[in-house]
Amino acid sequence: MKSVIRTAAGGPEVLQLVERPVPEPGPGEVRVRVRVSGVNPTDWRSRRRPLPPGMDEQVPHQDGAGVIDAVGPRVDPGRVGERVWIWEAAWERPWGTAQQYTLVSDRHAVALPDHAPFELGAALGVPALTAHRALTVRDGGPGRIAPSTLQGATVLVAGGAGAVGNAAIQLARWAGARVITTVSSPAKAALARAAGAHLVVDYRTQDATAEILAFAREGVDIVVEVAPGANAALDIAVAAPGAVVAYYSGSEDEQLSVPVLSSLAANLRWQSVYVYTVPPAVKQQAITDVAAAVGAGALRVGEETGLPLHRFALEHTSDAHAALERGVVGKVLLDIP
């Protein structure tokens, strides 16, 4: 089978296309014939770091979608032939989704309904589970996402044209929230509106604080934050009492500096979100809820839903990484032959 591997840290050029034997699933594992592999910012960032201890090589990419074609012991044989989406395939493991077949534990392959295309399945994983966590960490919040669980809440999504931002808008809308998002250009504004945001603010040309507070006079309850260092002042200015700022990203040298009294009086909570290490029960709830949203048609991909797709062939994985590293807007995917 064709696999993309890396044996060292570095730029996109360290990714190599190789031939290797088709693996056999072990106890508790399924083998997935991968149709589409999803590429996330964490994939290129981890590529620049040394391999995990004990690994001589690694197949990149956490997310993907395909069909189970074999199962190991202690797995229901009835799963063979099932369409699935994959999450965290390569987290501390050598087997990612940038290959024709991959092995994951049974629970890491989630049923994908027939109406959901493989490109949607490959775009879930990291973005959707991150968005779910950010939307459910508020004190007194529901802890889950389903219709009406965020009824009456106002959500601010920073960077609504990104993959996590897009998933956050769609999930928050499905849960009944009013959704505001900030963007940096008219093109990104169009994408955020397509995703379903009620209010889109271009922070380069508009007074973001004034626009947000005119729409949500009592402030916002949840901030899904992509740039906490740059946006801290705005987040404090528009936060409702008891709000949470759930931040999931930031540059390597970014610093978060918070004025103490401004946050103190509002009981404002700053919550980091790193999807790989959230508690297992929380992760399972997110998987359950995201699967339900897919089943209900509440999560979609494509430019018409605010998330353009950029597709590359497996042999051009290095080009896919380079595009994502340059900041291409939308979701980067690999089509697996």
Contacts of 25-28 with CB under 8 Å at 24 or more apart are 25/70, 25/71, 25/72, 25/75, 25/103, 26/72, 26/73, 26/103, 27/72, 27/73, 27/74, 28/72, 28/73, 28/74, 28/75, 28/105, 28/106
Question: Burial level of 177, CB count in 10 A (0-12/13-18/19+)?
Answer: buried
pLDDT value for 265? 83
Dmax (CA) of the chain: 60
| Predicted confidence (pLDDT) at residue 250 exceeds the cutoff of 80 | no
- pTM for the structure as a whole: 0.96
Q: Measure the CA–CA gap between 161 and 299, rounded to whole angstroms.
A: 15
| 128-276 placed in CATH 1.10.10.10 | no
Q: Measure the CA–CA gap between 122 and 124, rounded to whole angstroms.
A: 6
Binned at pLDDT 50, 70 and 90, residue 251 comes out as confident
Q: Are the C-beta atoms of residues 46 and 15 closer than 8 Å to each other? A: no
Q: Which of 191, 174, 173 is nearest to 182 (CA)?
A: 191
Between β-strands 309-313 and 331-335, what pairing exists: parallel, antiparallel or unpaired?
Answer: parallel
Please write the tens of the pLDDT for every residue from 272-296. 999 999 999 999 999 999 999 999 9
Domains 2-123+307-335 and 128-276 share a fold: yes
Q: Among 83-87, 266-270, 331-335, which stretch is predicted with the lowest mean pLDDT?
A: 266-270
Domain ranges of the chain: 2-123+307-335, 128-276
Q: Of 3.90.180.10, 3.20.19.10, 3.30.365.10, 3.90.700.10, which CATH number belongs to 2-123+307-335?
A: 3.90.180.10
pLDDT value for 195? 98
